[in-house]
Amino acid sequence: MVENNLVKEFVSLVAVEDFEQRYAKDIYEDKFFGMPLAPIVSCEKKLREKQSQSVAYFSMEYGLATSFYNCFQSSQPIDPKNYNEEQEVFSNYPLADYFFTFKLNTLIDLPIYSGGLGVLAGDTIKTMADYAMPAVAVGVLWNSGYFRQRFWYKHGQLPAKTYWEPASYPGLVPLKNKIKLLLRNQQLWLRIWKYYVYSYRGDYCLPLILLDANIPENSERDRRLTDQLYRSDDARIKIMQRVILGMGGVMALKEMGYSVSRYHMNEGHAVFSFIEAARGLSQQQIEALTNQFVYTCHTPVEAGHDRFHSEELKAVLLDEDFSLCERYGLEKPAVINLTLLAMNVSSSVNAVSKKHGEVMHLQFPQYKDKIKYITNGVHSHTWMSPAFQQLLNKYKDVLGDFQTNPMGLEQIKHLAANVEFRQQLWQAHQENKRYLCQLLSKWKFDVNVFTICWARRFAAYKRPSLLMQDVRRLVAISKKIGPLQIIIAGKAHPKDRAGFSFINHMMDKIDGLTENYDTLKIVMPENYEIGLARILTSSVDLWLNNPLPPFEASGTSGMKAVLNGVVQLSTLDGWMVEAQDKNIGKTFGYTNPPGSIGDERELHMSDDAKQLYIALEEMAQMYYAANLGGQVNYNSQWLDLMINCLIAAGYFNTYRMLDQYKQQIYRIL
């Protein structure tokens, strides 16, 4: 029996399945899995008020960093599958690879993301919670996550399933509510799960609704629709995954009784939300509905724009729904383009950096007036390491309350000449780097050796193997200037052959460098995920980013690095174009001709690799001028760059970003 008033109220608002038996031990008195329960009750009430003016954020994926940020506790045993496993490493020190692994001793992050898009979605909704915005997020419960990357010794990537147990993931609760999607010749049932995303202070929260087709009401085949994120086996599965997010999402919001003023589609994946909301409306009402929809486009890359044949859509959708898709999304006869559909049904369309805005204008000239840009950011509370938070807390008199207002980080310019600050900054960085070196101690990582990292998804346009084009040059630099430690990590989509071949190619090259291990250490840890991203972005000396311009819409990993004073080496693309004058490192390489986006298959590898080595050599020189085997020159140029990084973080964060969304896109609050 539910005794406590707050819990009673919670249960009346949120119909948790199996509450008494399973969840009452973690949701009791004023607690929800160790976090305060009151904010849940108040946000659930607020979202149901007619005048609530809330935003519903739709995204196929969410990277919430639940393993280390605002963690829930559970009094129940947690399934071992929800903990990180041992990770293997492929390096040019095979003896260590053979005998050792490393392990992050945490829960896995909620495995419902694949990469940067999901992390941005997570960072965005966390910032909405910090801003106490009335908002709700909608996504999908991926029963087998994205995939677990294993290495197949020397032969590349072996994708495996992620096994996890949603029912024993702390803070994730299944509801009794189920919804039924009406499709052509079939219905699909979806169960609703909820997860609460708290503000960093824990005093406010917003619900994340996750849709799940893995329930007995559905056929075996349909139960697997919410199995793995971005399955691309066939068109039906792709369409159904998008239908679940969009249509299922809008139905779930209605089922919850939330009143929504803005539907924010994070990528075209979510566009069926409009189709669901428009069903049964008159033409005039449909036009009015577009005022409530806004759309953010995240990539200029072809593969990021879904196109379906009319017949494929017709096979799934009801006639009325299909005609709406055709009316707003027909690109050419019998081809429906979800990007066009999303642009046509939204009152506002935005790119995710200044440069991406220009690229979108070239790609979609007929929508030029509609397309704005808002540069991405990262959530500072998630991505700034504790060592840096402690350091900056000492300077609140200069920075103000930078935790509430990270734009205050710009004031670090007033500390640039402060010798004590420079020393403490270096120490904080070394503390982070020491942790990395401990993790890789079996690979003999040294805290005073120049350390470079490239880590993100292995998509062709990101050019993962650029640094490995001419390994003789790397060997030469390591002998001439000083030793190098290089970390490369990332997953290739299981169906992406180019991505696979990058991994194989690099492993071959690394394998040929075993003789050079004294001065040149190259390691590839498997299964790059948020937990590892957090460690790498805060602990290396140089963050390498070398996408082929103009195909990186924004990029965010470098922003995580600048929050931790990590210097950048990058091509001029995405967010880096706006950071160019901030002196946070070096830029190099090809840029697309003005007025043209060039060809994404023409990777310009050999020219850009040459430029990369020249730039890297200069950076190594600069690093060793600052740190020669632990002898630190605090007045060095390298420390200036580190300080400039922190100043830039005052701009490239989600608080500045969300301010702009509120003012230019949502325009309701």
Tokens linked to 550: 């103009």
Rank residues 555 and 650 by Cβ distance to ligand PLP and give the closer one.
555
Q: Do 638 and 430 form a contact (C-beta atoms < 8 A)?
A: no
381 binds ligand PLP (CB under 6 A): no
Residues whose CB falls within 8 Å of the CB of residue 295, separated by 6 or more in sequence, listed in order = 264, 265, 268, 271, 342, 343, 345, 346, 348, 349, 350
Candidate residues 116, 170, 171, 483; the one interacting with ligand PLP per rule CB under 6 A: 116
Selected range binding ligand PLP among 17-25, 401-409, 498-506, 554-562, rule: CB under 6 A = 554-562
Contact between 447 and ligand PLP (CB under 6 A)?
A: no
Applying CB under 6 A, the span of 115-123, 262-270, 302-310, 633-641 interacting with ligand PLP comes to 115-123
Stretch that binds ligand PLP, among 111-119, 392-400, 609-617, 634-642 (CB under 6 A): 111-119
3-state secondary structure of 203: coil
User: Which residues are CB-contacts of 355 (< 8 A; sequence separation ≥ 6)?
Assistant: 549, 550, 573, 574, 577, 578
Shortest reach from residue 528's CB to ligand PLP, in Å: 6
The footprint of ligand PLP on residues 513-542 (CB under 6 A) is 528-530, 533
DSSP string over 85-147: --B-EEES-HHHHHH--B---SBPP-S---SHHHHHHHHHHHHHHHTT--EEEEEE--TT-S-
CB of 373 to ligand PLP, least distance (A): 16
Q: How far is the CB of 598 from ligand PLP (least distance, A)?
A: 19
Judged by CB under 6 A, the residue of 556, 592, 644, 653 near ligand PLP is 556
> Tokens at residue 526, please?
């498997």
In the complex, minimum distance from the CB of residue 523 to ligand PLP, in angstroms, rounded to a whole number: 17
The C-alpha atoms of residue 565 and residue 559 are separated, in whole angstroms, by 10
CB-nearer residue toward ligand PLP: 225 or 229: 229
**Minimum CB distance to ligand PLP smaller for 547 or for 565:** 547
Beta-carbon-side half-sphere exposure of residue 368 (alpha carbons within 13 Å): 5
Site mask, ligand PLP, residues 558-597, x = CB under 6 A?
A: --x-------------------------------------
Q: Name the one range near ligand PLP by CB under 6 A: 190-198, 474-482, 551-559, 584-592.
A: 551-559
Residue 87 CB, shortest distance to ligand PLP, in Å, is 14
Number of residues that bind ligand PLP (CB under 6 A): 13
Is residue 650 a contact residue for ligand PLP (CB under 6 A)?
Answer: no
What is the nearest approach in angstroms of ligand PLP to the Cβ of residue 108?
Answer: 12
Min dist. Cβ of residue 305 to ligand PLP (A)? 18
Tokens of 302: 């072809």
Q: Tell me if 357 contacts ligand PLP by CB under 6 A.
A: no
The answer for residues whose C-beta is within 8 angstroms of residue 108's C-beta and 6 or more apart is 67, 82, 83, 84, 162, 164, 529, 531
In the complex with ligand PLP, which residue's Cβ is closer, 39 or 555?
A: 555
- The helix/strand/coil state of 218 is coil
Q: What is the 3-state secondary structure (H, E, C) of 438-470?
A: HHCHHHCCCCCCEEEEEECCCCHHHCCCHHHCC
In this chain, which residue has its C-beta nearest to ligand PLP?
116
Binding ligand PLP by CB under 6 A: which of 268, 550, 555, 565? 555
Site for ligand PLP contains 119 (CB under 6 A): yes
Smallest gap, in angstroms, from Cβ of residue 502 to ligand PLP? 14
Shortest distance (Å) from residue 455 CB to ligand PLP: 7
**Single-letter residue type at 336:** I
550 near ligand PLP, rule: CB under 6 A = no
> Which of 517, 655 has the CB closer to ligand PLP?
655
Amino acid at position 408, single letter = G
Amino acid at the residue 224: R
Length of the chain: 669
Least distance (Å) between residue 107 CB and ligand PLP: 16
The closest of 557, 571, 526 to 454, measured between CA atoms, is 557
Distance separating alpha carbons of residues 453 and 434, to the nearest angstrom = 15
Between 268 and 555, name the residue whose CB sits nearer to ligand PLP. Answer: 555
Q: Tell me the one-letter amino acid at 375.
A: T
The DSSP bridge partners found for residue 332 are: 335
Residue with token string 């840890």: 525
Contact 394, 424 (CB under 8 A): yes
Q: Report in angstroms how near the CB of residue 555 gets to ligand PLP at its nearest.
A: 4
Question: Pick from 67, 91, 92, 557: which binds ligand PLP (CB under 6 A)?
Answer: 557
- C-alpha span between 351 and 368 (Å, rounded): 11
Residue 77 has what DSSP assignment?
A: P
Binding residues vs ligand PLP (CB under 6 A): 115-116, 119, 456-457, 528-530, 533, 555-557, 560
